[in-house]
Structure 1
Amino acid sequence: MQLPADAVAAAALIEVVRLTAEPTRPHDPFTGEPVALWLAQEAASVLSLVESLPGSGQHRCGFWPGWAVRVYDATLAVALFEAQFCFSCHEARLHGPAVPAHLAKQFFDPGAEAAHTLLARFRAAGASA
């Protein structure tokens, strides 16, 4: 999966978000509460894991993501980007000022080992919240 390279290089913190609410307007991102913060090395490790997700074809479920990561640089002012993951339809949507249009919608293989590892990390973060 492709992420905005400059934003990944600048990443200092990731908020893990459990998505629970539908968008209020069409094409807006889902919303939810942060359940964990991953700093420095852990953030870099997770972003590397996301980048290693193999591609997949689209599966239709209506896009109902359960998890997201919000990526911040050292200023922590505004999220550089947010990536929302739907493990049912194999879709990831990226939002934010660092996201070029061609990266906004991507498909990943949720059966891949990297996807299982990512989902396990999300669930562990949610369980400790």
Structure 2
Amino acid sequence: MELPAEVVTGTALMEVVRISALPTEEGAPYPGRPVAHWSGDEVTEALALIGTLPGSEQHRCGFAPGWSVRAYDDSLGPVLMEAAFCFGCHEVRMHGPAVPPALAEQFFDADAPQAAALLARFRGAGARHGL
């Protein structure tokens, strides 16, 4: 999977969100409960893992993402990128000022070991909050 270069080089903090619904308008944050904040090595490892997700063909499930990550730079100002992952249809949708249109919608192999490791990280973060 290809991540925006600005996100890879400029992310200082990632927020993990357990998504509860789809946004009501395009470009709006995915509603849900933040369950973790990753910084330092956790950001580096998460971005590396996401960046190694192998591509896949589109599967149809209606896009029901369960998890998203929001990337912030050192200023912790507006989000650089939010990426919502649907492990059912193997799709990730990204939006934010650092995301070029060509990268906004991608497909990943949800059965790959990297996807299983990413999902385990999300679930581990959620488990700390009883999710």
Provide TM-score, normalisation by structure 2.
0.94
Give the total of aligned pairs. 129
Query: Offset at 1:29?
Result: 5.0
1:123 matched to which residue of 2? 123
Matched, 1:35 2:46: no
Query: Offset at 1:28?
Result: 4.8
Superposed counterparts of 1:6-85, under 5 Å: 6-25=6-25, 28=28, 30-85=30-85
Cα distance in 2 between the residues matched to 1:117 and 1:11: 20
Q: Name the aligned partner's letter for residue 11 of structure 1.
A: T
Q: Percent identity?
A: 57
Where 1:21 maps in the other structure, the secondary structure is coil
Show CA shifts across 1:13-36 (max 9, x none): 100000002222367553211100
Q: Name the aligned partner's letter for residue 4 of structure 2.
A: P
| 8 Å Cα contact 1:11/1:40 also seen in 2 | no
Where 1:35 maps in the other structure, the secondary structure is strand
Query: Offset at 1:46?
Result: 0.2
Where 2:126 maps in the other structure, the secondary structure is helix
Q: Which consecutive residues of structure 1, in runs of 5 or more, have no partner in the other structure? A: none
Where 2:62 maps in the other structure, the secondary structure is coil
Cα distance in 2 between the residues matched to 1:6 and 1:96: 11
Cα distance in 2 between the residues matched to 1:45 and 1:6: 16
Q: Name the aligned partner's letter for residue 2 of structure 1.
A: E
Aligned-pair RMSD on alpha carbons?
A: 1.2
Q: Name the aligned partner's letter for residue 59 of structure 1.
A: H
Where 2:33 maps in the other structure, the secondary structure is strand
| 8 Å Cα contact 1:72/1:78 also seen in 2 | yes
